[in-house]
Structure 1
Amino acid sequence: MANPRQCKSMFRLKAEQIYSLHDLLSGKYHIHGSWEVCGLEALGMFLYTMAGNGPNRDTNNRWVRSSSTVSIYFNRVLNAMHVLAGNILKPVDPNFTYTHPRLLEGNKFRPFYDSVGAVDGTHVSIVASVATSIENRNRHHVTTRNVLVVCDHDGRVMFLDTE
């Protein structure tokens, strides 16, 4: 993480962002290491795997850890990130009584005064197991996952689903 360019390339984050995420996960979500793997290393293995979209064996080769160790710590961080996402991805006004000022500016948005936000979907490339690769193939024969995203009028994500 001492080299900013390599850090961004390997983890898709800056070193300061990784340290901040580690502090958040260890403080609120109890991601701590053990005598075998420290918490920052567990987060590093998770980010490396997610950023490279690679298999478990690439991560065990990079960190010189067994596949079971990588899998255990990857799942711990993944579960913490899932809880974190549930705490972050929620509407500012859960009752949706607030109308965004941009909608009130002109008459062209009149039909959307009661709208919550915008909905869009996309396909994200994934590495699927042999058993699930057929059901995850798109029309171009690439394994992808369909993602649905709902954003409010300020672009904040309120809902995200990958099923």
Structure 2
Amino acid sequence: MFSKEEASQLRQAFWTTFGQYISPQLSAEGLRVNWINYKTGLKHVYFKMEADKKTATISIELAHPDSGIQELFFEQFLEFKNILHTTTGEEWLWELHHTDDSGKTTSRIYQQINGVSIFNKNDWPALISFFKPRIIALDEFWNDVKDGFDALK
């Protein structure tokens, strides 16, 4: 078991390592990008990567405070579902109005792996292998479809 400080340091060390590993990768537009804090350019739409002591998740999170507008965003993403699945090479999970650990209601489209821990350095290669191709594919997907969200800005 780790203290809060040790856990925080391990998390930070992982994300620093991941950031260094992926930083040479350019975006679909050929630009440098902060992969860990990916900017979609659309308010309330985030690409999130999370890892804890049991799982790792990468997601498109729709966090608009108005659930009706959040649903409109979700429906718009559904229009592009086949493009997402083709670009990522896999089926993703779709969850309308998910309540997170802090009680906030969001919608999300995600992939998850179990049995990995950010606190076990031996799992870091598996975490990197999980996150890297998916965040790159999300960038490619977003580059192809982001104009379809102009009406929702």
Q: Normalising by structure 1, report the TM-score.
A: 0.26
**Larger Rg computed on CA atoms:** 1
Higher strand share: 2
Which structure has more relative contact order (CA 8 Å, sep 6+)? It is: 2
